[in-house]
């Protein structure tokens, strides 16, 4: 979902691409926010260490948003980098 090699870090404005696998008909827009802190990296192995680690970022949203499941409103969230895209510059 993200552009490979995109520079992410604190202060970068991002689009958070929502996981619509359970809610494919949802018309909720992907929220926009700003990275406010780095989250920790996590591996994906169940019983064994893995070489693939996912980076997470703490994103504060421009406007509180409701999740696809109706949860929220959320002011911020811990988001995997794979769901982020650097927002185009205005």
pLDDT tens column, 7-47? 899 999 999 999 899 988 888 899 999 999 998 765 554 55
Confidence check: pLDDT of 90 > 80: no
With bands split at pLDDT 50, 70 and 90, how would you rate the model's confidence at 60? Answer: very high
Task: Tally Cβ neighbours within 10 Å of residue 64.
Answer: 11
pTM of the model: 0.77
Listed in sequence order, the residues at least 6 apart from 85 whose beta carbon sits closer than 8 Å to its beta carbon are: 1, 2, 3, 6, 14, 15, 17
């Amino acid at each position: 979902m993200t552009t490979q090699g995109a520079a992410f870090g604190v202060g970068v404005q991002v689009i958070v691409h929502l996981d619509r696998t359970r809610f494919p008909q949802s018309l909720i827009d992907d929220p926009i926010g700003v990275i406010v802190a780095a989250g920790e990296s996590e591996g994906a192995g169940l019983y064994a260490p893995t070489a693939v680690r996912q980076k997470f970022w703490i994103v504060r949203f421009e406007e509180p948003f409701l999740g696809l499941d109706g949860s929220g409103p959320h002011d911020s969230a811990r988001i995997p980098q794979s769901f982020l895209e650097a927002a185009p510059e205005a």
